[in-house]
Structure 1
């Protein structure tokens, strides 16, 4: 098989051939191994030979001069090593483990004989297959380490040969044997290493304490204290990452003494208590567990259980139990690290001077006055660029059982970070708990409103956690979170919102909340009743209330129009779902924090939120740059589609609708241009229209009376109601279980008899209005059998069923046609509603259902809802089939543009939480686009028909299209025409006429397409401003740490008072201690400043790559102002 060198061009007169490798080491070889041992003082040697098998190598490629004639390529019977990847491993799920990291460097090269050759990708040898072939060798090496190996039974330090006192250290890198004296001497500073003793036959575990090692604190390495003070009972326990050690520890008791806790801390050991400590944890184990609690969400119990098993995985009864001590140490460790990282150790006021919310990791991209905003931001012509975006939500997974109390576990942070200060919060609840009632809902039956009066359950002190956080960057805010006692009450959520706003009060505020349509109604009036707060004392604050995009479909239509991010101006592409993404990380802490006391839980959540914020803050520059690249692309796409679509309409409509939507955005008009003015098509509306028409016919004398009480339209309506009632009855009957009670069976039988009697009465009317049906029934033997037949066999024989067989009134067929149109629209609305319900059932299950019983109950409800959806889909298909038959008589086919054929893939929800997406992979789900870019299935665009002058139905969606594609197609149809200067606004190449002016669907599509374009333009402007804020923030933060460094300069240290200066030795010692402390503070401040400077430089570098694209927009060859929203109300269109 021929091959070529990758990346090298083929020279003339030269060809390459694969030839067998020359014999050599690859064919195997004999290796001689000699071991030397010392026995009774004499050195002995033992030689052994082993055969080394050939190792897999790739065939060499040799360069040969081109011969006069083509040489045939050599053929080999055995496959080369590169061809071994086959069979089960060739397409196994572990392919990525052995994929080649290097890019393929082969390219299209000109062959000697002419023509390009295809790329040849080298096949990497499967590492798992290689491992399988060498598993015996690796297993032998592991077993070899269990013995002394090459090491002679001689001490590596003093050459002692006593075999009963030889040891080795499992944690030292070099495998050496040591005697007791050398081992203890070499491990004075490594007292947490694990030691093994050679018994002559195997290695057994032992401790350095048993070998006589004593750890001396308070002095340097090798220092000896004249007055050592042993630990309590001469037993001291140290918890390390690999094991729990019992050591012999001596504190310093001489004139250089420091408190025991300080001596331990200077040895990087964290004491469990400050008075006579006898347990400590290494800094390493505390750092390791803290990081594991952030990333793997490991609980302290599980972590300590792993450390105990690492100490002894067989008999662990003798290992000291230090779970309570470890919990206390990690609690204190979290608190100290929080204070340290926010510079409280550098502040002269110390810990007591810490203000509420001071120890948070601020969002570098959010507007922070005096930090990252420009000096003249208050006078900006675009104040919305400096608006603060907040999102409110509650999490009912982060509960807490009714264990411990604030007296026993008060907590350490006390409102310094993300959780509100508990004392003030409880006083607030006690004062206003009864004064602020929850409002009744005027929207759908939301879970958040229902849960407001529901407690967390028996034995729970907190039913969940509420939060108010940044909605554009998913970061927690200072004092923006707190416990819920009785569900998601307005009282709690108001407090979290007002408390976090005290830290920076913006001029404009955008608040998103899943029930904001209810919560916002009396929010300002409630704030006037509370103590002084940023909202009540600032009536000029501009607040915009919106519903997060995922939650919006669960609201009524008016809420979907009034509180939509997609339709509201000056919000960019914000979705408002930031809390939901944050809960995904913090929910893993639910199982460990719900068993904690109140203070420990608050401090643990503070620490977790701080890590989340730091992780996002350090990656903020990369995140914004990535978003900017996406926004640049979609801004171009959406503005192009907007300009294209808008210029297919008459200029008069563009001006009118543009003015309408601008007035609505500026609050000058209460008329929402995104709302349809058409009434929904229902059976009642059609019945009213037909009654009005019959009234006019009666006045005109165009009516032939067939029945005195029942008109033809009522006759058809009764039939449809009967048909629907029988259908519902059959579905209910199908749902009866095997253990249905006799009472339920009797009720079902009585209902069936009721429908039979109604059918008999209606059949008498059918004799009058459809006389040709009776002979047809007689021919089929169905006449008079309704009383004995099952309901499922009763047939009505309406015009849609018998038009092809019998002669019937065209007027009746037209009546049925109009009623069927209404039925189809009602069925589609019901289908959409059930899809939304099912979506939120999935969300509720994921959020609230835990345990087998709850999950099983949720699954049954979801299964029931899925059956309802399937039944509605089947009913719609049946109705549409009847409409196809009736449309020939009604002479109307325009309904088919709206009421399309319903395929299974059309039955999709509005969001990615739909059931159909749960079956696809994560990669496919990530590929789905959002509302600003996606195309929903057609069922979500159906708005209903409108009536023309001749009484025919016309599709309200015609001309509006579905999403962006309709704009492009409309433009393509109108291209090529030139615009005229006529005063009536008509333009050649554009559709015009009275139908366009009266078409609400066309107006809504015009406004929606404009909104999509403007949102992406706004997103680009917001991203550019956020990039500027990030750079200013890191620059400001670096200066903060530099200022902290200056506070502890060497010449500003004040150590003792004048009275103490009379003791020179004490002064010198205190001066030395203060100098050491100041040096540590300066070093830490300098390191933190350097980290901020690196983040600043990284942000500048990343942002510089995308800024030109944000500031440049070209549509149809015309460069536009990126800071001005594109409007299409003028006559001129970009060329």
Structure 2
């Protein structure tokens, strides 16, 4: 730039000092050429050369104005129409102040129509002063879908694109931008739902009609065969609808005093949220009804209401598709005081209040508190409005299950009765689809929590619509991946089951047992109130029960004059039992001392010292009685068994029979007592360990879903750490019991203690599902395989190698349970293959049906509609029809080898499975 003469390449004139920052090439142009070349790009950013550097300029300052209402290059017949020099346009490259001339011809359109035809969305229909380009509105919508950025963040980014220094004043149009975004979203939703191509128009929109439907779910009239109702009974399960219910307490709304009247929804009840007025009337009538206490674990959704201070809405409840992660129409509602039955009942019943869905024969409902919620559902429904009631018999016939990840937090009986793994005709459904949906929508909560009620619902509706659409156009890849996995797993687990089953049947004594298990399994599958074959029935003895039994034996022996009693108040069984209790106290005191650390307070130190003194006194008293029963203890303590001086009570040896080394003698009666008590102690420790791990898993679920902020996270973490200490105590108790049993085992040569009490390694102390690792600051451990792939820790049921036989010759309980589970795994994977094939067929049929629906709208026209509007509607309908046909063709191409894959690769062991299935069918007929 070291010369003064600048030649414009367009006109060869002087004063070529302007350049555009967005046009390719960056040539210098004169003022006239810059304006002329930007008549169709009037929102570009330009600069001019001052002689020393480039500085910001604008096309408006160079004389460019926008003539609306006419094609490009056509002058207005009313040239005296005044220009609006203060018009603001929000575009993808910034916020611009431009000059606009509206058409003033006698047949002109309204100003807002002129703006829309130019591609600018007006902030108002009355004397608009602000508009946003359709490009920037679409860009924000997509950015908010993917990155969840707020409107404020996006608008501030546009402001910085316009002026990143802050020296040029930019007109604040943020509130106008919010209005335009909301209206744009609403109009696009109506357009995509075909409301512009429907005789009923916008006013005739029915509830849920703007929602994006799941193409893989059964929908009578859209994707089911014409004869689906008359198909054989054994095929009817393929037309089941799988629903999943859940609540989300992150989607709160603060009490900002904005009312429904001041901020209503633009399409109330037209998409995913239910219509607000009847919903609130229902909550007003039934929301305060008392809920029965939970008979399962202490689920907060049943027993407690969450804190609602400062909140207008504490979260949302929802009903979605359980297999394909889509949200259903009219299935979401605001929660006021936690997850009350009145809220969730309304959402569930209303989501089924469609004539097409009520035709469905069967339904599977997944809910994390299904074991409590469904019990009185029919009774509650009969009290509700007729508008949401349905056939009570059909409601009772539905299958209610608990999602797989939530199931470990339930009591043992629920873990089998409400398991997706054990119920037939559910495939590999996990019921956790709401959690995957919440992970997508939760980041939006940062902005929606401050919105008014209507704008919040409209925003969430828009995001859920995008989520459903993404699930739709990626369904080709998703279903293909799933069926490839299902075919391989079905093959493997079918062969594994037959290997296991034939191995048992090859033993004559076992064949009858297996037949009995089959009968029980079939009976339970037909009626879940029958005896559950998946439950362990052999109860392990508790230490309290064994203590009572031994005390009774001591009393009986004393009455018969055969008692081994050397103390007036403490018998041999009581002696050992007290010793075990002292051992537990030693362990607890040791953990307390370890937890104090170097900076313990004086109060904590004094308490530890007092507890230590109390324990020492108890141990001394017990030792005096012990010496009466085991005289060799006196010389044992005098000998140098403990070379170092013991100063802490938890370091002192109790010298129970299992820890008395030879040649010191101990009465066999005391060894027998400790053997029985230690066995019971090991079983009790495992029960405590399972309960503590299950509680810890539930606490992690609760923390991950709901704990936000330092205070809530600190409290949750403290509770988890207390539970973790219970896990450590139970682990140490089992290991101590096993060490004692191994020492006593030399006196019992026929014992199978190593199989009955396997070694408890650190890797065995794990839940049924993966959970965060506290030692790694919340990072998750590598997930254990799920039930369909799993190798669970032996602590959850299968003890040892599962082949130990009871003394009476019958197989242990765990062998029966494992046979049932192995059968269930094989069947679930087989069902998954069939379900996926059916879902693929439904997707293709749904897309074809939707394409034909849009095709039928091509000729739509209304009275008074002009030709350009009619042609535009026809073009849009044709485009939507072609889009769905293109998607169908794409899926067909992706899935063309699926049938061959299933036929050749899936069932090399199919003949064996068919034989087993024919046996089961024969048994069913006999029943």
Same fold, TM-score > 0.5, yes or no: yes
How many angstroms apart in 1 are the aligned matches of 2:415 and 2:833?
Answer: 25
SS at match of 1:348: coil
- Counterpart contact for 2:772–2:778, Cα < 8 Å: no
Q: Cα distance 1:604–1:773, how it changes in 2: closer, same or farther (>3 A)?
A: same
SS at match of 1:539: helix
Aligned to 2:266: 412
Q: Which of 40, 56, 59 is matched with 1:205 structurally?
A: 56
1:602 aligns with 2:453: no
Q: Cα distance 1:355–1:642, how it changes in 2: closer, same or farther (>3 A)?
A: same
Q: Which of 590, 597, 615 is matched with 2:445 structurally?
A: 590
- Counterpart contact for 1:1113–1:1120, Cα < 8 Å: no
Q: Which of 804, 809, 812 is matched with 1:999 structurally?
A: 812
Cα distance per residue 1:1019-1076 (max 9 Å; x no partner): 111111111111110010000100111324xxxx643xxxxxxxxxxxxxxxxx7110
How do 1:164-203 and structure 2 match up within 5 A? 166-203=17-54
How do 1:294-693 and structure 2 match up within 5 A? 294-380=145-231, 381=233, 382-403=235-256, 404-434=258-288, 436-450=289-303, 452-456=304-308, 458-503=309-354, 504-505=357-358, 506-532=360-386, 536-541=390-395, 542-649=397-504, 650-667=510-527, 670-691=530-551, 693=553
How many angstroms apart in 1 are the aligned matches of 2:33 and 2:456?
Answer: 47
Aligned to 2:624: 764
Q: Cα distance 1:244–1:316, how it changes in 2: closer, same or farther (>3 A)?
A: farther
How many angstroms apart in 2 are the aligned matches of 1:1127 and 1:588?
Answer: 53
How many angstroms apart in 2 are the aligned matches of 1:815 and 1:298?
Answer: 68
How many angstroms apart in 1 are the aligned matches of 2:685 and 2:564?
Answer: 34
- Counterpart contact for 1:655–1:1129, Cα < 8 Å: no
Q: Which of 871, 877, 880 is matched with 1:1085 structurally?
A: 877
Aligned to 2:708: 850
How many angstroms apart in 1 are the aligned matches of 2:5 and 2:482?
Answer: 63
1:728 aligns with 2:588: yes
1:776 aligns with 2:636: yes
SS at match of 1:345: helix
How many angstroms apart in 2 are the aligned matches of 1:916 and 1:932?
Answer: 27
- What displacement does 1:855 show? 3.0
Q: Cα distance 1:768–1:329, how it changes in 2: closer, same or farther (>3 A)?
A: same
TM-score by length of 2: 0.92
Aligned to 1:964: none
- What displacement does 1:580 show? 0.7
How do 1:1110-1125 and structure 2 match up within 5 A? 1110-1111=902-903, 1119=911, 1125=917
Of stretches 738-747 and 231-240 in structure 1, the one that deviates more from structure 2 is 738-747
How many angstroms apart in 1 are the aligned matches of 2:723 and 2:123?
Answer: 56
- What displacement does 1:482 show? 1.4
- The structure with more helix, counted as a fraction of residues: 2
- Counterpart contact for 1:367–1:387, Cα < 8 Å: yes
How do 1:43-82 and structure 2 match up within 5 A? none
How many angstroms apart in 2 are the aligned matches of 1:1081 and 1:556?
Answer: 58
Q: Cα distance 1:536–1:743, how it changes in 2: closer, same or farther (>3 A)?
A: farther
SS at match of 2:209: coil
1:715 aligns with 2:575: yes
SS at match of 1:648: helix
- What displacement does 1:870 show? 3.4
Cα distance per residue 1:413-451 (max 9 Å; x no partner): 2010011111111111111123x322201111223234x
Cα distance per residue 1:1056-1115 (max 9 Å; x no partner): xxxxxxxxxxxxxxxxx7110011111111111011001111222233311233356876
- Counterpart contact for 1:449–1:488, Cα < 8 Å: yes
- Counterpart contact for 1:466–1:493, Cα < 8 Å: yes
Q: Cα distance 1:254–1:1120, how it changes in 2: closer, same or farther (>3 A)?
A: farther
Aligned to 1:255: 106
How many angstroms apart in 2 are the aligned matches of 1:1019 and 1:655?
Answer: 26
Cα distance per residue 1:220-254 (max 9 Å; x no partner): 11222233576786310000011111111011121
Q: Which of 114, 136, 141 is matched with 1:290 structurally?
A: 141
Cα distance per residue 1:275-297 (max 9 Å; x no partner): 00000000000000000000011
SS at match of 2:746: helix
TM-score by length of 1: 0.76
How many angstroms apart in 2 are the aligned matches of 1:1031 and 1:384?
Answer: 20
Of stretches 661-670 and 698-707 in structure 1, the one that deviates more from structure 2 is 698-707
- Counterpart contact for 1:839–1:915, Cα < 8 Å: no
Aligned to 2:85: 234
SS at match of 1:1026: helix
- What displacement does 1:918 show? 6.9
Cα distance per residue 1:822-874 (max 9 Å; x no partner): 22222222223322333333333322222233334434443444344334333
1:795 aligns with 2:666: no
- Counterpart contact for 2:401–2:420, Cα < 8 Å: yes
Tell me which structure has the larger Cα radius of gyration. Answer: 1
- What displacement does 1:699 show? 7.5
Aligned to 2:507: none
Of stretches 813-822 and 267-276 in structure 1, the one that deviates more from structure 2 is 813-822
How many angstroms apart in 2 are the aligned matches of 1:594 and 1:433?
Answer: 23
Of stretches 387-396 and 732-741 in structure 1, the one that deviates more from structure 2 is 732-741
Of stretches 799-808 and 248-257 in structure 1, the one that deviates more from structure 2 is 799-808
- Counterpart contact for 2:498–2:913, Cα < 8 Å: no
- Counterpart contact for 1:498–1:533, Cα < 8 Å: no
How many angstroms apart in 2 are the aligned matches of 1:586 and 1:319?
Answer: 33
- Counterpart contact for 2:341–2:373, Cα < 8 Å: yes
- What displacement does 1:591 show? 0.5
1:958 aligns with 2:802: yes
Higher normalized contact order (CA 8 Å, seq sep 6+, divided by chain length): 2
How many angstroms apart in 1 are the aligned matches of 2:161 and 2:859?
Answer: 46
Cα distance per residue 1:59-80 (max 9 Å; x no partner): xxxxxxxxxxxxxxxxxxxxxx
SS at match of 1:480: strand
- Counterpart contact for 2:860–2:873, Cα < 8 Å: no
Runs of 5+ in structure 1 lacking a partner?
A: 1-146, 944-954, 961-991, 1056-1072
- What displacement does 1:706 show? 3.0
SS at match of 1:205: strand
Q: Cα distance 1:466–1:1114, how it changes in 2: closer, same or farther (>3 A)?
A: closer
Cα distance per residue 1:740-769 (max 9 Å; x no partner): 888777766665554444334322321221
How many angstroms apart in 2 are the aligned matches of 1:1122 and 1:618?
Answer: 36
How many angstroms apart in 1 are the aligned matches of 2:529 and 2:374?
Answer: 20
How many angstroms apart in 2 are the aligned matches of 1:917 and 1:343?
Answer: 54
Q: Cα distance 1:877–1:781, how it changes in 2: closer, same or farther (>3 A)?
A: closer
Q: Cα distance 1:997–1:808, how it changes in 2: closer, same or farther (>3 A)?
A: closer
Q: Cα distance 1:1130–1:432, how it changes in 2: closer, same or farther (>3 A)?
A: closer
How many angstroms apart in 1 are the aligned matches of 2:775 and 2:215?
Answer: 35
Runs of 5+ in structure 2 lacking a partner?
A: 505-509
- Tell me how large the CA RMSD over aligned residues is: 3.0
- Counterpart contact for 1:360–1:418, Cα < 8 Å: yes
Q: Cα distance 1:681–1:257, how it changes in 2: closer, same or farther (>3 A)?
A: same
How many angstroms apart in 1 are the aligned matches of 2:82 and 2:347?
Answer: 48
Cα distance per residue 1:65-114 (max 9 Å; x no partner): xxxxxxxxxxxxxxxxxxxxxxxxxxxxxxxxxxxxxxxxxxxxxxxxxx
- What displacement does 1:732 show? 3.8
Aligned to 2:757: 899
